[in-house]
Structure 1
Amino acid sequence: MSAVLELLRDLISRQSVTPNDAGCQAVVGARLSAAGFQVEHLHFEGVDNLWATHGAGAPLICLAGHTDVVPAGPIGAWTSEPFSPTERGGELVGRGAVDMKGSVAAMTVALEQLAAESHPGTIALLLTSDEEGPGIDGTRRVLDTLAERGVSIDDAIVGEPTSEQVFGDAIKAGRRGSMNGRLVVRGVQGHTAYPQLADNAAHRLAPVLGALVAADWGKGTADFPPTTFQVSNLVCGTGASNVIPGEAEVRFNVRFGTDWTAERIQDRIARIAQENGVEEPVEWNVSALPFVTRPGSLLAALVGAIESVTGIKPISSTGGGTSDARFFAAHKIPVAEFGPINATIHAANERIEIDCLDPLTEIYRLAVRNALRDR
């Protein structure tokens, strides 16, 4: 059994449902400490974080990931126990196999190998147990803490699963912004037989919702697809068929690129609501702003490593959901993401190709070595 596969099996067996780390970082920290790393465990509001460094001075190249996972969901949907790593058909099945304990295991072994070599500057690993949760006391807070200490990270690679059809075919060089909105329309509850005595909140919501769904957000940019508006939840009525609802609530998500700012989107949605007779303010939660990493030494180092190991030149994408890469971007740190095939993330029977684990480790090792050399 390869070192990375053995470590991955250990990590999957730990039920680290967010924000619980379940000892994953202690395992990684002990290994890196034995390899000569300075290891620091940072605990913020019940969230476990690990910061480990080897070497000194610039450049500082950081690998980053998370040890928390989403819940397993209905156990009956799994063909094996979700936290009992099971090999089947050349794959390792278990919650977190792809998202993202496979990358964490590969990064750990890659850094052990680099520490055994002579390297310039500093190599580092940042892990959190707060990526699948609110994302407040994890990578974001660690980076804020490091910045307060005067630590300057030159490049970062996040191990999110980015490959799409075959291992090595895609990286992320940016991400869309994401924000959630909540709009509550209030009317007057009443009996369906006496509509003149009520004010149907669902009827008041309907034209607003139709206008929002039909709104044209443009064609996007060269880096980002068009902005999208998606309803995620509708709550209305009491469940009785003869009661006019006095309140209707819609929750929605907007994904956007750099052609829109969060403020402009909020203003436009508020205007659409007002134009359709709804004055209630929208409640907003902006969880991520869009960013893109331009071609430079980091992308060259990562793409070169992938091509060297797999023979594939990966495409650069900004699609998908949010990730902790956004926190590096907020600190003006060039960041890119690469990892295994993402087809089964958050799904029952999440699984990773065993044959990709050692190549993934080698890609991380080469990418960091190349970034150290080219900085």
Structure 2
Amino acid sequence: MTDTAHAPVDPVDLTARLVRCPSVTPEEGGALTLLADLLGGAGFDCVRVDRNGTPNLYARWGRKGANRTFGFNGHTDVVPVGDAAAWTRDPFGGEIDGGYLWGRGATDMKSGVAAFAAAAVDFVRDTPPDGAVVLTITGDEEGPAKDGTVALLDWMAREGEAMSVCLVGEPTCPDRMAEMMKIGRRGSMTVTFHAQGVQGHSAYPHRAKNPLHAMVRLLDRLASEPLDQGTEHFDASTLAITTIDTGNTATNVIPARAMGRVNIRFNDAHSSDSITARLKAEAERVTADTGVTFGMEVEVSGESFLTPPGDFVRLVAGAVTAETGAEPVLSTSGGTSDARFVKDHCPVVEFGLVGRTMHEVDERVSVEQIRQLKAIYTRVLRDYFA
């Protein structure tokens, strides 16, 4: 009779079961409970590290404080479905059809979590390593991200838990499997300017101080002057004007106040502090020209970071090539991910499957890619502990 207790974990089936958990941020939806049962049954020590209502799971196989501890990071929370009537499949059905697994989170990123959980379980059962394997899984990556991976890392610091290196399983390939891996990310910040002028009649503009004229001048300067020309591993930083508003409904009144907002994605030539200083200096120049004063609100989502090409990067890239025959581009493109938090703990890279349908109606993932991803993660573990 076949011993099903140690049958390989099917990452496709696990993805489908995770998709059936309605874990829209911040709801856990049963996803972390499902994973804790699987991992606990394979000998992982599992701890729920919930904070402020945000669900998180820490799972470790092996001794705490081992010299070599390989970590995986991912999330089981998903964005809302949107218009459910626009879907051709049940968003939480986990249906497999036409070579694809359909549902919210299928791509971003329950398939990635399923692949590394399945790889980790099979690896420690079949070839127990001299070291430890850690999985950090959050329910707050798609939300504010203040009590998710950050909470897990805070808890790890208090408890003496640590990862030597970490692989984040976010989808990283634009169009083809194995096309790209991330070795860093741009920083991200949003700056809101509040211009204070003097209200007046639009027929007598010399008696007023028009905050809109000052705001437009400031934003034009910021948008017209490049932040940089790019660096060795990063494209040029970008600044986008996202809104200008006064709330003024009158046609003959110069308003007293105006608000403008920009979003900046910056490379390793800058920090959020250096950019803030640059914006403040520009605002002061406009104030000197116009008499309109500016206040600034700065919200930083993350600093730019880079894991320089070295042994860890080569190990992951080599595993991708060995399993797929393709050599991934080492990229720092895209938005932010929880790697921006992990990089303060240990070296981190990201590799996952094709993310073309993430957050879309009829989100779906290639079944074959899920299996490929498990094979890549398994090889990464094997090569790391070799």
TM value normalised by structure 2:
0.91
Distance 1:16 1:238 in 2: 41
Distance 2:364 2:181 in 1: 19
Q: Which moved more, 1:340-349 or 1:262-271?
A: 340-349
CA distance in 1, matches of 2:79, 2:53: 17
Distance 1:191 1:93, change over 3 A: farther
Q: How does 1:320-335 map to 2 (within 5 A)?
A: 320-331=334-345, 333-335=346-348
What's the offset of the Cα at 1:265? 0.8
* 2:351 maps to 1:338: yes
The 3 A distance-change label for structure 1 pair 80 and 191 is farther
Query: What is aligned with 2:50?
Result: 43
Q: Which moved more, 1:188-197 or 1:248-257?
A: 188-197
- Give how far 1:12 is off: 1.2
Which one of the candidate residues 80, 93, 100 is aligned to 1:91? 100
Judged with a 3 Å threshold, the aligned counterparts in structure 2 of structure 1 residues 38 and 270 are, in CA distance, closer, same or farther, namely same
Gaps of 5+ in 1: none
Mapped partners of 2:28, 2:335: distance in 1: 22
Find the aligned partners of 2:357 and 2:255 in 1 and give their Cα distance: 40
One of 330, 333, 337 as aligned partner of 1:319: 333
Confirm or deny that 1:54 pairs with 2:52: no
Equivalent residue for 2:125?
116
> Following TM superposition, by how much is the alpha carbon of 1:297 offset from its aligned partner in structure 2, in angstroms?
2.7
The answer on 1:246 being equivalent to 2:256 is yes
- Contact conserved, 1:297 with 1:371, CA < 8 A, in 2? no
- Residues 134 and 163 of structure 2 are in contact (CA less than 8 Å); yes or no, is this contact kept in structure 1? no
Aligned to 2:224: 214
1: CA distance between counterparts of 2:228 and 2:283?
19
Letter in 2 for 1:79: T
Matched, 1:286 2:300: yes
Q: CA deviation at 1:148?
A: 2.4
Q: Letter of the aligned partner of 1:209 in structure 2?
A: L
* Conserved? CA contact 1:44–1:137, under 8 Å: yes
Map residues 1-375 of structure 1 onto 2, 5 A cutoff.
3-56=10-63, 57-117=66-126, 118-189=128-199, 192=202, 195=205, 198-277=208-287, 278-331=292-345, 333-373=346-386
- Higher mean alpha-carbon deviation, 212-221 vs 27-36, is at 212-221
Shift in CA distance, 100/239, structure 1 to aligned 2, threshold 3 Å:
farther
Aligned-pair identity in percent equals 37
Q: Give the Å deviation of 1:247.
A: 2.1
Separation in structure 2 between the aligned mates of residue 246 and residue 190 of structure 1, nearest angstrom: 8
Distance 2:214 2:203 in 1: 18
Size of the aligned set, in residue pairs, is 372
Residue number in structure 1 paired with 2:5: none
CA distance in 2: counterparts of 1:344 and 1:232, whole angstroms: 25
Secondary structure class of the residue paired with 2:60: strand
Indicate conservation of the 8 Å contact 2:49/2:151, yes or no: no
Q: Secondary structure at the match of 1:148?
A: helix
Contact 2:9 2:118 in 1 (8 A): no
| Higher deviation after alignment, 234-243 or 47-56 | 234-243
Give 3-state SS (helix, strand or coil) of 1:330's partner. Answer: coil
Contact (CA 8 Å) 1:237, 1:243: kept in 2 or not? no
**Aligned counterparts of 1:202 and 1:195: Cα–Cα separation in 2:** 12
Give the distance between the partners of 1:207 and 1:146, measured in 2 at CA.
48
Secondary structure of the structure 2 residue equivalent to 1:47? coil
Q: Tell me how large the CA RMSD over aligned residues is.
A: 1.9
- Give the SS at the match of 1:281: strand
8 Å Cα contact 2:182/2:351 also seen in 1: yes
Please say if residues 196 and 293 of structure 2, whose CA atoms lie closer than 8 Å, have aligned partners that are also in contact.
no
8 Å CA contact 1:237, 1:246 repeated in 2:
no
Query: What secondary structure is seen at the aligned counterpart in 2 of 1:136?
Result: coil
SS in 1 for 2:141: coil
TM-score of the superposed pair, with normalisation by structure 1: 0.94
Pair 1:82–1:192, CA change in 2 (3 A): farther
Does the 8 Å contact 1:13/1:85 carry over to 2?
yes
Cα deviation for residue 240 of structure 1 reads: 4.6
Structure 2 spans left out of the alignment, 5+ residues: 1-7
Q: How far does the alpha carbon of each residue in 1:260-297 deviate from its partner, in whole angstroms, 9 at most, with x for none?
A: 12221111111111111243231111111111112233
